[in-house]
Structure 1
Amino acid sequence: MVKLTKIYTRTGDKGETGLGDGSRVAKHDLRVAAYGTVDETNAAIGLTQCHAEGGMTHLLTRIQNDLFDVGADLCTPEQDAPPYPPLRVTSSQVEFLEKRIDELNSDLKSLRSFILPGGTLLSSHLHMARTIARRAERLISQLVELAPTHLEALRYMNRLSDLLFVAARRANANGAQDVLWVPGANRQG
């Protein structure tokens, strides 16, 4: 269990931070950028919750907790013989998102165009969280290419952005208030 008694430690005053395995890296390291962007996603979801209710609130709370797992996973580099078992995202966490996506999407009309992010206040916040989740996913994808990284964290962020997209459509009166993109609509005049 985490116990924080002192918030500042001064250990990062020279531009470095500690990873979950005890190693030190620059604060601009790709791994730090990846889990930092997961944290941004979590904060955006926290803001989104201010406009949600009922089952959506419970779903977003669960996702926020899982995002801490994603951050812990990314914070601890994969190694052959870790001194303790690291916290890793599981396939069941990804499968949970897949089931919720299927439920949320079950009675939405198929899209015939991309939609513009927006609509209701809740939908707008869900879209913002989605775009931040996509940025985290891109950073994690880059990290996977450069260093051993647990792939379930990448899969989780991919599914999360899909879930947030479908949830945003649900928040737009089950898609009825979605604003469709009209390609080239403003090119004349």
Structure 2
Amino acid sequence: MFKKFEVSGNNQVKSSVARGVRAAVCEQYPWLDQNGVLEVLLPKKEPMFVAKCPGYMQVAIVHGTPVFFSEREGHWFPTMRVLHQYPDMMPKLRTDAGAIKFVLSGANIMCPGLTSPGATMHDEVPEGAAVAIYAEGKEHAMAVGLTKLSTAQMREVNKGVAVELMHHLNDGLWKTHSIA
């Protein structure tokens, strides 16, 4: 999604829009609210900016730092930096070691990469869920994505795309530390 990170517009949003983003993030990631992290990431009293990017992407920015992104009117996903700070915020899937180079190149995750020896489905998730992608033998997440099948279907079918990759280490959004 973010081979290159280009911003076509960056505007401060009205408080009602910021509340909507907070509510959507809170609904998708209840762990953040339960642990008091939501106020740290998306403070109510701080201005929020939303950067519009090519491909109908938008990025929520607080204190000049990208924190969440979404396809317009879709799921909100944490940036990798946020996910590394709060790894328990979303369900986890772990690929086998053979999938690492493909994922870091921006490829979608295939079912065999999640069902083979060395891979683990830590959490049971439905189709259309936002998930963190980890690699066999690695401590930190390497990507975030959207499941195309439930974990039960992944085991049953064991072919085709399991997770659509949204953001990964070393892509354009990862390389962007701050936006003025």
More helix by share: 1
TM-score when normalising by structure 1 = 0.28
Normalised by the length of structure 2, the TM-score is 0.29
Larger radius of gyration: 1
Greater relative CO, 1 or 2 (CA 8 Å, sep 6+): 1
Determine which structure has the larger strand proportion and give its number. Answer: 2
